[in-house]
A and B are shown apart, each in its own frame.
Chain A
Amino acid sequence: MKISFVLNGRPTTVEAEPSTLLSDLIREDLSLTGTHVGCDTSQCGACVIHLNGDSVKSCSVLAVAAEGAEVRTVESLSGLADELHPMQQAFRDNHGLQCGFCTPGMLMAALDLVKHNPDPEEAEIREWLEGNICRCTGYQNIVKSVIAGAAAMRQTS
């Protein structure tokens, strides 16, 4: 069936099976491979995107549910030649990533947190990111990155 939505600011129409997951549609049909799939039980959070402005695990959403929605993936945060988004920059500056596999999901989840609270504290960040597994960092630098990213976003806004 045909699905139309706005993907990273561009109106998009694609064919998809009713059973197709949004994560698969984004990765396989639309070739945006920044959204990662790390599990099959909606536990790891590597596939977090924004659906109508809220963070969701795209592996737990059917593609058809995106009909008419605004979808944003990690690729929307900065163009290839552009400066990094302040949250991306903060992850880089604070060594908030190692292998990079959980990073897109972490960034998208963190940005949703900052939307709810522009000045989050450590405990709130740790609780908010409970649904995003990182196997490399031990989370300390991710927390540090989110605090720094939020601070940078407060300054620019």
Chain B
Amino acid sequence: MLPVIGIGSSPKRKEDARFVRGRGTYVADIKRPNMLTGVFLRSEHAHAIIKSIDVSAAMAQPGVHGVYTGEDMKADNVGGLPVGWGITGKDGEPMKEPPHPPIALGKVRYVGDAVAFIVAETDEQARAAAELIEVDYEVLPAVVGLVDALKPGAPAVYDEVENNLCCDWHLGDGSAVEAAFQNAAHVASIELVNNRLIGNPLEPRAAIGEFEFATGQYTLWTTSQFPHVVRLLMGEMVLHIPQHKLRVVAPDVGGGFGVKQFHYAEEAVVTWAAGKLGRPVKWVCQRSEGFVSDAHGRDHVTEAELALDEDGKFLAMRVKTLANMGAYLSTFGPNIPTNLYAPLLSGVYVIPSIYCEVKCVFTNTVPVDAYRGAGRPEATFVVERLVDMAAREMGIDKIEIRRRNMIEREAYPYQTPMLVEYDSGDPRGCLERAEVLADVAGFEERRLEAASRGKYLGLGISTYVEACGLAPSRMAGQLGARGGLYESATVRVHPSGAVTVLIGTHNHGQGHETTFAQIVSEHLGVPFEDISVVFGDTDRVQFGMGTYGSRSLVVGGAALAKANDKVILKGRKIAAHQFEAALDDVIFEKGEFSVAGTDKKKSFVEIAGAAYVPFDYPLETLEPGLEEQAFYDPINFTYPGGAHFAEVEIDPETGIVALKRYSAVDDVGTIINPMIVEGQLQGGIAQGIGQALFEHGVYDQTSGQLLAGSFMDYCMPRADNLPNFAIEPHSTTCTHTPMGVKGCGECGTIGSPAAIISAVVDALKPFGVSHVDMPATPNHIWNIIRNSSARIAAE
């Protein structure tokens, strides 16, 4: 018999059998009979009134089947793209939620805003026709910067939204914080920017719409992290297609990182156009187009202060953040810098009171939404930069000040002043282990060696905690979620005893086909090879909320564990019937059903087979078949955390920051597949390093053009930019998830930016530098060194 491979093993990934052969099926690979190609004409202006659009010349081109504008969709009663979370301002006013038409109506609000959709036989024909569309624009002044957008007299992204202010939100006890600051021995403060990022999963987005006239059935193939949610949002609110008449398929998807967890306009447009034309319509995003149409991430400007007593103990924190929403609210846009940000400002520390206000601001830029970490890296960056700043100003070692303020393992569950209650954790244990892994003791020797070569070595530290496993529905609802965030799984036991799992999460690199099979193998004793996992098709999988916020294992895996329990119970009922024994006497262990105290036993395969050929079941109490479904709604978030150390070497002649060592100790709870978890941590750390050293979605402040609009301008980490990372788990068990898991997908991007910048600032200590904004590019660092040297020389 093939082996059971359960929790804690690292079998090779099932999905890799197709991927290494180049046999994955991504949306761009799919061809449907009679398929047409669509391309978008997009605005080249950041802000303009559309006075008129003349599509007649484009329509007359050979091969062109349709040219559609926002007015055409409006005339067909197509709705705007909905927002999944509504937040409420400090004055009790709901956020401003202007309409978001799939194709612009009357006005374009960012470079890349869709103006028309052209459908033709071939891509070349569609592109040629697009060039013939005449749009008469009245160009308006644009605003792209957060601070500028709030200034009186700034260009108004929406006439009806005063000061471009979407929402003035807050959390925490402001008066307690004020009182604490009055009594502080020291106040550390910082102003910082969290740089705009563009997620860039390597597979560009794509969508194919299809309509079957005979049945009225629509199908959408899309590069999505959550096909059921696309069906819900697009079906119910945008195109008014009943959900049972809409199938959404997200097959193999080449990376997501949050970028593919929104309902995008293009999905609605291809589906709608396919209905109009009665032929399948395919759109494949070009990379340069993706830069101005994929939702961006981060983009905050923050002022923060930390009050401390004379021993360096934290008393209170005060944070004011401006968060860029872009030109329209994306699916989760307003939720990210508020609910996923402020509640994490306590970090791994005891901070008696915290107050945070966030102004969400409209600008003439691509909509901003979740990108790996989503709110939590921003919170970690604020907390850790403040702590570094306080340590420096008070003359306390930066590791020591963290030790002094950490939540002790025994203090869990720990209620923070910011809504959330951490169930478990061991920040001190993570830190101590990370100090060893990073060889902090040997740093001074390495620093002197680098100095002898004229280089500046810096050691950086970051601790972090995150809220994962989105989301406990009741809590999410109180925070503004417009629907629950549970997950579902079906365990279908075939007559052969093999198992198919149908699950509502989506696998786009995380190895779910392998991890979820291990959970079934462990619980049911079924050989790993006999288990397959189905996802990404609303016609096959019952329902699901998809994959984001490190939720797949935490929420989806829990639903799976619950369904496994139901299968075992049903199997025991069948066995009890066969053994003519009482249910309570039937036990299931190691893939076998047996009667306690007897030698009666049957294998899982025997019971599975029996379940499908019954002739004598007591039908009132026992149904044939062996298939169970479970929905799981968590009662709390999970709180992974950890401690990271970075070591950078700066060349003062060039400003180049070379990352020499990176060490991470993370608490992700129970680990199902250590190989996959380490891979997730490595990838996350690399993306966080990207934010800290390389990546920046830069706009021209006047024209509103995206300057970092290609892989040649937007710099992502390449193989020769990174060292190997030293990663170790240090897990405590989550107290409320069925298997004790916490999630691991976002740890790296949350922990690493602050560690890198801490190291850069440490290296630049001789130049009197106390903070460096991201990304720490050679130009940026070279200028800091030059200006600081000049200042020091003058003094």
Q: Which residues of chain A have a CB within 8 Å of any CB of chain B? A: 27, 31-41, 43-44, 46, 73-75, 77-78, 80, 84, 88-89, 91-93, 95, 97-104, 107, 122-123, 125-127, 129-143
Interchain CB contact (< 8 A) of B711 among A34, A39, A78: A39
B687 x A135 contact (CB < 8 A) = yes
22 contacts between A and B (CB under 8 A): A27-B29, A36-B202, A37-B204, A38-B204, A38-B287, A39-B710, A40-B710, A77-B21, A95-B675, A100-B24, A101-B203, A103-B20, A107-B20, A123-B720, A126-B719, A126-B722, A129-B719, A136-B683, A138-B748, A139-B717, A140-B682, A140-B722
Determine which of A41, A77, A135, A141 lies in contact with B679 in the assembled complex, contact meaning CB atoms within 8 Å: A141
A126 to B165, CA, bound (A): 46
* CA gap between A104 and B353 in the complex, in Å: 52
Given contacts A34-B22, A88-B20, A98-B683, contact A139 B711 (CB under 8 A): no
Nearest CB in chain B to that of A92: its residue: B16
- Among A32, A88, A142, the one with the most B-chain Cβ atoms within 10 Å of its Cβ is A88
New A-B pairs, 6, CB < 8 Å, besides A98-B511, A135-B716: A35-B22, A38-B287, A39-B710, A74-B21, A131-B718, A136-B679
A133 neighbours in B (Cβ, 8 Å): 202, 711, 716, 718
Q: In the complex the two chains form, is A104's CB within 8 Å of B202's CB? A: no
Nearest Cβ in chain A — how far from B314, in angstroms? 33
Q: Does B617 contact A (CB under 8 A)?
A: no
Chain A residues whose CB sits within 8 angstroms of the CB of B683 once the complex forms: 98, 135-138
B201 interfacial contact with A, CB 8 Å: yes
From B679, which residue of chain A is reached at the shortest CB distance?
A95
What's the Cα separation between A118 and B683 when bound, in Å?
A: 27
Contact A99 B21 (CB under 8 A): no
Are B13 and A92 interface neighbours, CB within 8 A?
yes
Alpha-carbon separation in the docked complex, A136 to B684 (Å)? 8
Let me know if B712 and A139 touch, CB within 8 A: no
B20 touches A36 (CB 8 A): no
Whether B719 lies near A132 (C-beta < 8 A) is yes
A4 to B12, CA, bound (A): 40
Q: Are A101 and B26 in contact (CB under 8 A)?
A: yes
A47 to B164, CA, bound (A): 43
User: Which residue, of B257, B676, B711, B716, has the highest number of chain A Cβ atoms within 10 A?
Assistant: B711
| Chain B residues whose CB sits within 8 angstroms of the CB of A37 once the complex forms | 28, 204
B553 to chain A, nearest CB (A): 15
Q: B779 near A: Cβ within 8 Å?
A: no
Which residue of B has the minimal Cβ distance to A101?
A: B254
Q: What 6 pairs across the A-B complex have the smallest Cβ distances?
A: A34-B22, A100-B19, A101-B254, A138-B686, A99-B509, A98-B509
**Min CB–CB distance B200 → chain A (angstroms):** 6
By the criterion CB–CB under 8 Å, are B22 and A43 in contact?
Answer: no
CB-CB under 8 A from B255, the residues of chain A are 98-99, 101, 135-136
Residues of B close to A136: CB separation below 8 A: 202, 255, 509, 679, 683
Q: Determine which residue in A40, A129, A140 has the highest number of CB atoms from chain B within 10 A of its CB, and name it.
A: A140
How far does the Cβ of A122 sit from chain B's closest Cβ, in whole Å?
8
CA distance A136 to B15 in the complex (A): 15
**Across-interface contacts of A139 in B (CB, < 8 A):** 686, 717-719, 722
Q: Is B23 in contact with chain A by the CB < 8 A criterion?
A: yes
Select A84's contact among B20, B509, B711, beta carbons within 8 Å.
B20
Q: How far is the CA of A40 from the CA of B204 in the complex (A)?
A: 10
- Residue from A36, A101, A135, A139 whose CB has the most chain B CB atoms within 10 Å: A135
Q: Which residues of the partner chain A approach B719 to less than 8 Å between Cβ atoms?
A: 125-127, 129-130, 132, 134, 139, 142-143
In the complex, B508 has a CB within 8 A of chain A:
yes
Contacts of A138 in B (CB 8 A): 682-687, 717, 722, 725, 748
Docked complex Cα distance between A88 and B17 (Å): 9
Point out the residues of chain A lying under 8 angstroms from B288, CB to CB: 40-41
Q: State whether A91 touches B287 (Cβ < 8 A).
A: no
Query: With an 8 A cutoff between CB atoms, is B243 at the interface?
Result: no
- Point out the residues of chain B lying under 8 angstroms from A143, CB to CB: 719, 724
- A67, chain B: closest CB distance, angstroms: 22
B252 at the binding interface (Cβ < 8 Å): yes
Residues on B lying within 8 angstroms of A by beta carbon are: 12-13, 15-26, 28-29, 31, 200-204, 252-255, 257, 286-288, 508-511, 675-676, 678-679, 682-687, 710-712, 716-720, 722, 724-725, 748
A140-B13 in contact (CB<8A): no
The CA-CA distance from A37 to B290 in the complex, in Å, is 13
Complex Cα distance A131/B720, Å? 10
Residue on A with the closest CB to B720?
Answer: A126
Q: Which single residue of chain B is at the shortest CB-CB distance from A107?
A: B20
Using CB atoms, name the residue of chain B closest to A17.
B124
A95 with B13: CB separation less than 8 A: yes
Q: Is the CB of B712 within 8 A of A43?
A: yes
CA distance A73 to B22 in the complex (A): 9
A-side contacts of B15, CB under 8 Å = 100
Residue of B nearest to A34 (CB): B22
- Please state if B287 and A41 are interface contacts (CB–CB under 8 Å): yes
Residues of A within 8 A of B257 (CB): 135
A59 to B725, CA, bound (A): 33
A125 CA to B718 CA in the complex, in Å? 12
A38 CB contacts on chain B under 8 angstroms: 202-204, 254, 287
Q: How long is the Cα–Cα vector from A129 to B717 in the complex, in angstroms?
A: 12
Q: B711 and A43: CB pair below 8 A?
A: yes
How far is B201's CA from A137's CA once the two chains are assembled, in angstroms?
12
CA distance A95 to B748 in the complex (A): 17
Please, which residue of chain A has its CB at the minimum distance from the CB of B23? A34
Contact check, A40 vs B287: say whether CB atoms are below 8 A apart.
yes
| Chain B neighbourhood of A92, CB < 8 A | 12-13, 16-17, 20
Expressed in whole angstroms, the Cα–Cα distance for A137 and B288 within the complex equals 23
Which listed residue, B22, B286, B685, touches A104 by the CB 8 Å rule? B22
Q: Closest residue to A24 on the B side, CB-wise?
A: B123
In the assembled complex, which residues on chain B have CB atoms less than 8 Å from the CB atom of A89?
Answer: 20
B150: min CB distance to chain A, Å: 34
> Which residues of chain A come closer than 8 Å to B16, judged between CB atoms?
91-92, 97, 100
Interchain nearest-CB distance for B25 vs A (Å): 8
Question: In the bound complex, what is the Cα–Cα distance between A135 and B717 (angstroms)?
Answer: 8
Instruction: Kindly provide the distance from the CB of B509 to the nearest chain A CB, expressed in whole angstroms.
Output: 3
Of B16, B286, B687, chain A has the most CB atoms within 10 Å of the CB of B16
Q: Which residue on A lies nearest to B686, using beta carbons?
A: A138
- Complex Cα spacing A77 to B21, Å: 7
Chain A residue contacts of B22, Cβ below 8 A:
32-35, 73-75, 103-104
CB distance from B505 to the nearest CB of A (A): 15
Complex contacts, B676 vs chain A, CB 8 Å? 95
The contact of B682 among A74, A80, A123, A137, by CB within 8 Å, is A137
Give Cα distance in the complex from A37 to B26, angstroms.
11
Most chain A CB within a 10 A radius of its CB, from B17, B510, B718: B718
CB distance from B726 to the nearest CB of A (A): 10
Q: What A residues does B711 contact at CB under 8 A?
A: 39, 41, 43-44, 133
Bound-state CA distance A40–B682 (Å) is 27
| Beta-carbon contact of B720 and A46 below 8 Å | no
Instruction: Assess whether B203 is in contact with A36, with CB atoms less than 8 Å apart.
Output: yes
Inter-chain CA distance A130–B719, complex, in Å, is 5
Given contacts A80-B23, A138-B725, contact A102 B202 (CB under 8 A): yes
Q: How far is the CB of A126 from chain B (nearest CB, A)?
A: 4
Complex CA gap A135/B18 in Å reads 19
What's the nearest-Cβ distance from chain B to residue A79, in Å? 9
Say yes or no: B21 contacts A44, CB within 8 Å: no
Residues of A within 8 A of B724 (CB): 122, 140, 143
Identify which of B200, B509, B717 contacts A100 (C-beta below 8 A): B509
Q: Which residues from chain B contact A40 at a C-beta distance below 8 Å?
A: 286-288, 710
Residues of A close to B511: CB separation below 8 A: 98
Tell me the nearest residue of chain A to B285, going by C-beta.
Answer: A40
